[in-house]
């Protein structure tokens, strides 16, 4: 884990971009780490990793579900979060099944509203453990429905990244293994599935990665990337610490930069070292006194495993969650607003004074850095306008990296 990205690089790469993250608690931490990195160079705290359904996190707001509704471990639990700044919009949806009525409602929101620039998705552990003991056929059918729905309406320039599920421990425990109460039909206890689940995840990753590639969507193999980083997995055998999540963010942003044909370099941030020369930064962060609370122990409290909220649920939404008002960007007067949208986005085509070099043909360079040789890539090119970024050179640099 020697490579990372800093706050300035993340902020510039995702400038005026709408990013959607879909998935379980691991994906929620992916969303949280991205929100933190867009504001400052800091890791998630242990408390932030454990929290679920809170009203606000690092200036974001809870839109639906969470503590606004009944906190539980059931498959019907929902949580929608959103972080919005003058130039960034990040949204998270908690889902327990890759295709369901709830997922259809999310897709309908995208059909009628703002189209995301980046979609980051994973749904696996709940799918293969909570719905059907013989999960293979159902999971493959739901994957096909999900990919087909997104393929039918997402713009070609939208970057879709399917994250493969990270390695599970030999002994696992977590909220998804707790049987639902008052469910009809009654759900049988599923703790006995824990020893086999780590192998089922490998099989499910094969189906998910293969189908995503068949639908010409990108696949990021986090299972492979973290197979030798198990020291960063927490003691519940499922979740991961803040260092691992910053590494996930780095892999995602590096992949996004490559897909858009831009590179993350130290030139974008004055007095900053290259992102490929930061092994000492991770070591210092892990041993620093300022992070002692976060990294001295990976143990999880009972509250984290149960996800139960002992407080009374709030009867009303946070005032900031009722309406997201459009931001005003006086320094970019050419930005336009689409009808019924709550966020400004830059026009992608037909913009005057935009040099032709601002449109990129991604994945044309076949001299790939080592960390991307196990990433499936989209077969078609995307026309994408990414402001304030460096263009990918026609020839690879001497050190062999392209970001």
Whose structure tokens read 């092994």?
279
Give the per-residue pLDDT at 59. Answer: 96
Q: Are 1 and 281 in contact (CB under 8 A)?
A: no
Give the per-residue pLDDT at 301. Answer: 40
What's the rounded Cα separation, in Å, for the pair 156 and 144? 18
Give the per-residue pLDDT at 95. Answer: 97
Strands (DSSP E) along 4-84, which ranges?
17-23, 61-65, 79-84
What's the rounded Cα separation, in Å, for the pair 162 and 105? 20
Q: What is the pTM of this model?
A: 0.69
Give the per-residue pLDDT at 8. Answer: 94
Whose structure tokens read 């130290």?
266
Q: What is the per-residue pLDDT across 284-333, written as a single tens digit (0 to 9) for each?
A: 444 444 333 433 344 434 333 333 344 444 333 334 444 444 333 333 33
Give the per-residue pLDDT at 70. Answer: 87
Instruction: Give first-to-last CA distance, the chain, whole Å.
Output: 17
* Furthest-apart CA atoms within the chain: distance in Å: 63
Give the per-residue pLDDT at 391. Answer: 46
Which of 54, 29, 53 minimizes the C-alpha distance to 43? 29
Pick the CATH number of 7-391 from 1.10.10.10, 3.40.50.1110, 3.30.465.10, 1.10.645.10: 3.40.50.1110
127: left (phi over 0), alpha (psi -120 to 50) or beta: alpha
Give the per-residue pLDDT at 358. Answer: 36
In the chain, where the domains are located: 7-391
For residues 329, 331, 335, 341, the Cα torsion angle rounded to the nearest 10 degrees is -10
Give the per-residue pLDDT at 302. Answer: 38
DSSP label at residue 240: B
Number of residues in the chain: 403
Where does residue 205 rank: exposed (0-12), middle (13-18), buried (19+ CB within 10 A)?
buried
Residue 38 CA neighbour count, 13 Å, CB half:
27
CA distances to 22, 26, 63, 87, 111 from 94, rounded to whole Å, are 6, 10, 12, 24, 19
**Is the peptide bond prior to 12 cis by the omega test (within 30 degrees of 0)?**
no
Give the per-residue pLDDT at 142. Answer: 97
Give the residues of the chain that fall short of pLDDT 50.
Answer: 1-2, 182-189, 267-380, 385-393, 395, 397-403
């Amino acid at each position: 884990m020697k490579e990372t990205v800093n706050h300035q690089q993340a902020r510039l790469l995702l400038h005026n971009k709408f990013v959607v993250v879909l998935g379980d608690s691991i994906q929620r931490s992916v969303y949280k780490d991205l929100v933190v990195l867009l504001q400052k160079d800091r890791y998630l705290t242990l408390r932030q990793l454990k929290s679920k359904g809170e009203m606000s996190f690092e200036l974001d707001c809870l839109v639906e579900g969470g503590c606004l509704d009944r906190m539980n471990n059931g498959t019907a639990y929902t949580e929608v979060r959103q972080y919005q700044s003058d130039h960034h919009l990040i949204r998270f949806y908690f889902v327990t099944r890759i295709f369901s009525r709830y997922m259809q409602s999310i897709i309908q929101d995208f059909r009628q509203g703002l189209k995301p620039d980046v979609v980051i998705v994973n749904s696996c552990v709940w799918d293969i453990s909570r719905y059907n003991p013989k999960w293979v056929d159902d999971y493959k059918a739901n994957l096909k429905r999900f990919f087909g729905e997104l393929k039918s309406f997402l713009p070609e320039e939208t970057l879709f990244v399917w994250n493969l599920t990270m390695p599970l421990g030999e002994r696992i425990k977590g909220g998804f293994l707790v049987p639902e109460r008052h469910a009809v039909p009654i759900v049988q206890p599923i703790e006995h599935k824990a020893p086999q689940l780590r192998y089922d995840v490998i099989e499910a990753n094969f189906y998910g990665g293969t189908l995503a590639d068949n639908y010409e969507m990108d696949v990021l193999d986090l299972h492979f990337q973290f197979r030798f980083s198990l020291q960063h997995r927490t003691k519940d055998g499922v979740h991961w610490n803040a260092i691992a999540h910053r590494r996930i963010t780095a892999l995602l942003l590096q992949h996004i930069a490559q897909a858009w044909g831009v590179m993350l370099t130290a030139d974008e941030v004055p007095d900053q070292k290259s992102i490929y020369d930061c092994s000492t930064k991770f070591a210092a962060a892990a041993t620093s006194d300022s992070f002692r609370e976060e990294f001295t122990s990976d143990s999880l409290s009972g509250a984290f495993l149960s996800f139960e909220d002992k407080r009374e649920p709030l009867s009303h939404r946070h005032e900031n969650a009722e309406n997201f008002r459009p931001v005003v960007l006086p320094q970019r007067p050419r930005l336009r607003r689409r009808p019924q949208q709550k966020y400004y986005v830059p026009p992608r085509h037909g913009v005057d004074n935009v040099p032709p070099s601002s449109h990129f043909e991604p994945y044309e360079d076949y001299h790939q850095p080592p960390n991307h040789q196990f990433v499936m890539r989209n077969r078609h090119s995307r026309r994408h306008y990414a402001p304030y970024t460096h263009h990918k050179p026609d020839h690879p640099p001497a050190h062999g990296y392209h970001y």
